Amino acid sequence: MTVGIIDLNMCNVQSIINVLNRLNYEVALVQSSVELQNVNKVIFPGVGSFDETIYRLQHSGLFNVLRSEILNENIPYFGICIGMQILFEGSSEGILNGFEKFSGSCKKLKHSNIGWSKLHWKNNDLFLNNSSSDKFYFIHNYYVPTPTYEGQTSCSDANEGILTSISSGCVHGVQFHPEKSYLAGQKILQKFLES
């Protein structure tokens, strides 16, 4: 199985590659729709602005193809940070539309959220059996507010208003960085890869 990592030359993808190498998975960087056809699962890591991410996806020819795959749940997808945020309709950070897999938009935090937090887990197979004592690493300025999203699988212990993970079928997104969250994060990535 080949795991595709979306690479828009916006962030360091090496930390996610390192985790996947430790887990003995074959990794391929995906920068075009042609390369997307050669992978079995997709991980979209990221730190970046909403509009710049969407612009680069459009410019690379990935936006429409990846959006269609996600909306139709044709390919297992795991979005990290901005990779989760673009699953929604948009962001107050910009004017471009996201993939619109989930309703709602990202909002700006009053203060940057940087550091470790425990999560309140809800029911979802991918995230089941996670310890309530596990901590995950966050670094972000925008967030998805949590009224009650269908598919919401966790919220932050530090701030219950921040949606921290969401799932629908084979499409998953997390606001935290599992690749920087040591064994707790590695366990979640491994569950995605084995699902």
pTM: 0.92
The 3-state DSSP class for residue 17 equals helix
What pLDDT is stored for residue 92 in this prediction?
94
Please compute Rg for the chain using Cα positions: 15
Lookup: tokens for 72: 């139709």
CA distance 136 to 177: 7
Number of domains observed in the structure of the chain: 1
Per the residue annotation, which of 11, 140, 155, 179 is the catalytic one? Answer: 179
CA distance 13 to 31: 12
Q: Could you state, in chain order, the average pLDDT of each consecutive group of 10 residues for the chain (195 residues)?
A: 94 91 96 95 92 96 96 95 95 95 91 85 64 82 75 64 86 93 90 90
Range of the domain at 186: 2-194
179 catalytic residue (yes or no): yes
CA distance 170 to 190: 14
What pLDDT is stored for residue 133 in this prediction?
74
> β-pairing, 135-143 with 105-121?
antiparallel
Neighbours of 148 (CB within 10 A): 6
Per the residue annotation, which of 11, 81, 106, 170 is the catalytic one? Answer: 81
pLDDT tens-digit readout, 105-160? 999 988 888 889 888 777 666 665 566 678 889 999 998 887 656 666 666 655 65
What pLDDT is stored for residue 118 in this prediction?
82
194 catalytic residue (yes or no): no
Whichever domain contains 169, its CATH number is 3.40.50.880
Dihedral (Cα; 155, 158, 161, 165), 10-degree rounding: -20
- Strand-pair partners of 174: 80, 165
